[in-house]
Chain A
């Protein structure tokens, strides 16, 4: 017994240590998971209404998948909850998102109405003017062929973005994107009006690009910004230097493709087609028109009024011998309806 004593004590000590280790090991293994708390906590205001946040999140996800009508439904629900909350910033946010979805779903008139209602609801609650709303309203006006209003609203959006940027002391990334997009809408409207003096003023609108703000952009945002800049340069150069305009428009189309923005890609291709036509390259212009029209058709679907001879084009079976119509409305080529 005496001989076994220390061994027994040692065995008991070993067993205790092992037991302690077994308890501590899982805890140590769990420690790295503490890093999961690395993300910043959300602002308290965002957590009050989970339903509103869910609708906004679901709307964004649907929009990103190209399900614009689904996004519209979600944003409409978010907008009604924002009204229930009587919160001006949230009304503005959800109203803007709803209008953008309506515009993407080819409903510019509804987008205008939404922007207008949102603006009035925000003003009623003492909210500030929102340049984002002016931008979507300007784009809707452009789609509706109301170019003068589109220009006014785009100018106001650009000025609002510059003012917001100056107010914060440093240029923010979102203000930079907003300003450039507003300049693009302005240039598109001026181009439709053949107003060369207005087009000449556009480069000054985007001249002051803050390098800090440009650095803060994500890869996707950076591609979108460059595409906007190229398209603006193409619009400005179209009448004076169509070769340069062609090059810039094709570059813009390539960047749009990279960014997955096919609506804007079709418009850039149509612009390249017009520039190629002005240079005298009829065949290349026709090919560009066909490409632009095909992208556009895939996106908006096939109208019932379309003649049967164009259907194979949509299905990708053959390129027609006759070119697609060259008289374009504001947002790119459409199908012949006769």
Chain B
């Protein structure tokens, strides 16, 4: 019985904490929603930055100072990748 009482007291305390935290849940959800809304734009910016970085490294590799050879990127996959 003593154990049950202690457990119940803990449950009561936990539910009290939950009740105290409940008013903040709405704010937290709002903040989360706001942050999540920015994610697609952030991803797009990251993708664009990476693309720019890729172009920059290609140009750097082409610099004569770095022993450069011209780097040409072909988007089309070579016929060797066509796997019969």
Which A positions have Cβ atoms within 8 angstroms of B?
A: 32-33, 35-40, 50, 53-54, 56-58, 60, 63, 93, 96-97, 100-101, 103-104, 132, 135-136, 138-139, 142-143, 150, 174, 177-178, 180-182, 184-185, 188, 220-221, 224-225, 228, 259, 261, 263-264, 267, 330-331
Contacts and interface: CB of A to CB of B under 8 A. Distances in A.
Given A38-B68, A100-B77, A330-B84, 10 more contacts: A35-B63, A35-B65, A38-B62, A53-B51, A54-B51, A56-B75, A60-B75, A97-B76, A263-B83, A331-B84
Indicate the member of B59, B73, B83 with the most A CB atoms within 10 Å: B83
B47 interface: yes
Contact of A184 (B48, B65, B78, B84): B84
A104 B79 contact: no
A100 B80 CA distance: 10
Interface of B: 47-48, 51, 54, 58-60, 62-66, 68, 70-73, 75-84
Contact of B80 (A37, A57, A150, A224): A224
B63 A36 contact: yes
Contacts of B82: 100, 103, 135-136, 139, 181, 185
7 contacts: A33-B63, A36-B59, A36-B60, A104-B81, A142-B84, A224-B78, A267-B84
Contact of A54 (B48, B81, B83): B48
B47 A93 contact: no
Nearest to A224: B80
A93 B75 CA distance: 8
A50 B48 CA distance: 9
A142 B84 CA distance: 6
A266 to B, nearest CB: 10
A152 to B, nearest CB: 14
